[in-house]
Amino acid sequence: MNKFMQLTKDFIDDEEGLTIVEYVIGAAALVLIGTSFFTDFFTGLKGKLTSSLDNISTSGS
């Protein structure tokens, strides 16, 4: 456990810049967040548009 804490501290204190691993982790996080957001957004949008179109078609008859 002590070695883990030391590695964590060394990682936080490292100021050499981002490595390729950190870029990959960041990119993967952005993809997951973006996919989740847009999936929920478009699902909700589809439901609202469908409901609006149903209301228009039933009131127009």
CA distance 6 to 53: 60
Q: What is the pLDDT of residue 13?
A: 80
Q: Tens digit of pLDDT for each residue in 17-51?
A: 677 888 889 899 999 999 988 898 899 999 999 99
CA distance 17 to 4: 21
DSSP string, the chain: -HHHHHHHHHHHH--S---HHHHHHHHHHHHHHHHHHHHHHHHHHHHHHHHHHHHHHHH--
Q: What is the pLDDT of residue 5?
A: 87
Q: What is the pLDDT of residue 61?
A: 57
